[in-house]
Amino acid sequence: MRIYHAADIHLGRRRLDGRLPDDDFVAAFRFIGEEAIREKADVFLLAGDLFDRPQVEPPHLRQAQEVLRLLKSAGIPVIAIEGNHDKQFVNTDAPTWVRFLAEDDLLMLLRPEFHAEGVRLNEWNAESRTGAWLEIGGVRFVGAGYLGAATPNKVRQIIDQIPAGKTQVLLLHAGPEYFVGEGGGFSKEDLQMLEDKVCYLALGHIHKPMLYGGWACNPGSPENCDLREAGYSCGKDGKPVGRGYAVLEIDLNRPDQPVSLEIRSNPRRPCLRVELDCTVFGNKTKNGADAFMSAAIKAIKECNPDKFAVIEIMLTGSLNLNRIALDLNKAALEIAEQASVFAVAIDTTRLNIGNGFAAGGAVGADLLPRDELERRAILQLVDNQPLWGLSEERQAFADLFYELKELVRGGQTGEAIAGQIGMSPLIEKVRVAGATPPPVLPPQIPGEPVVATEGIQ
């Protein structure tokens, strides 16, 4: 059996305030679908995040329908799970647009049922178009989707329910905890238990490609959802690596792992990073803004980029942006036009902005890059307003608040920002913590100190 596996398509993703077309995402999806048709794939797997937001706009729904209809016309069944971007909240049965596509007979959506007594893995029903598993050609496909912070516990429940002695494929929108360092990932021990039960583990969620032991794979995002993801197309040695979709062959006589597994790359918009030391454009340089623009254009042209490329200019060194009167948004547009490229983004996170701001009174803080200064300041605010039962998540909350600040800075809509908040695994942790009231302090005896308790000020 030949299987195609893709994940994290993110139809509808908005980048650089709309300067990059969202057609890039459906172009990548269409290419993978057409390759599956050309190679006569038996099954097509979608391991979550078909859409970028739970609220799908009509053009992006049509994009999904277009590719899925191509696969259906070719007789290739599509098996899908929901990712964190597809759902409004982790623990909800509210209809999603992926379910709409399932009801429209364009894919088969797999979802387990979790109850107080555990998980139920019901067989997929063609009439209701619901269920957690189905069989095609003697291979059992089990789907779990995104499970949030409860991933370790729920994955173990699923493992217990998966029968032994069958050739099985598990679709899961999650990543190994050791690989991505995220709460809600699964451990090496979980991975070992999965290996004992499944032939192939089809993963999503991590946009960076990953292969594990010849039987578990995350193919990575087919298109760059963020310009920084362009770096995922190369390994540590700088050489290109496969990224975008996986192709595997399963032999029913070998249920332990695929007989072949390969991550392949699909065409995507060229994205190049150019580093520019801004120290020379500082206060001592007359017409510093003009000098900066000229240097940026020259650095881009030296790379000889494609006219459809997007260029990320990483500013380094020291520069007081206020003193050289540089509007970064206008500069990016002008640089793109004069350098004859599709778009330019200017990243100042590694730039010492020279404003004398010191986060938390740290020595030498005025020499830190802007992003580090802001992260320290946000973490300090989190420490000043602790949440009961969530002290161990202080860094995670600070990271989320920084991410939201960057969305506001990038001009994202309130709906997009609200969606990002709703998709965070921290929401579920806040709900759980809120259901457990903090302990009541005993009455204070005059003259005795009050013992500090977490979250009580």
Least confident of 53-57, 286-290, 415-419: 415-419
SS (H, E, C) 198-243: CCEEEEECCCCCEEECCCEEECCCCCCCCHHHHHHHECCCCCECCC
What confidence score (pLDDT) does residue 436 get? 63
CB atoms within 10 A of CB 302: 9
What confidence score (pLDDT) does residue 289 get? 81
pLDDT in tens, 223-232: 999 888 999 9
Q: Domain extents for the chain?
A: 2-265, 271-347, 359-434
| DSSP secondary structure letter of residue 438 | P
| CA-based nearest residue to 14, from 413, 414, 328, 424 | 413
Average pLDDT over residues 317-334: 77
Band (pLDDT 50/70/90 cuts) for residue 59 is very high
Q: Which CATH class is domain 2-265?
A: alpha beta
Given a contact cutoff of 8 angstroms between Cβ atoms, the answer to whether 167 and 3 are in contact is no
Q: Identify which has the larger pLDDT, 367 or 263.
A: 263
Do the bridges between strand 133-136 and strand 139-145 make them parallel or antiparallel, or are there none, so unpaired? antiparallel
Whole-structure pTM value: 0.77
pLDDT in tens, 142-189: 999 888 878 888 888 888 888 888 899 999 998 876 554 445 567 777
Distances (CA, A) of 128 to 18, 65, 103, 123: 39, 20, 8, 11
pLDDT in tens, 235-275: 888 899 999 999 999 999 888 899 999 999 999 999 999 99
Least confident of 130-134, 322-326, 453-457: 453-457
pLDDT at 49 over 60: yes
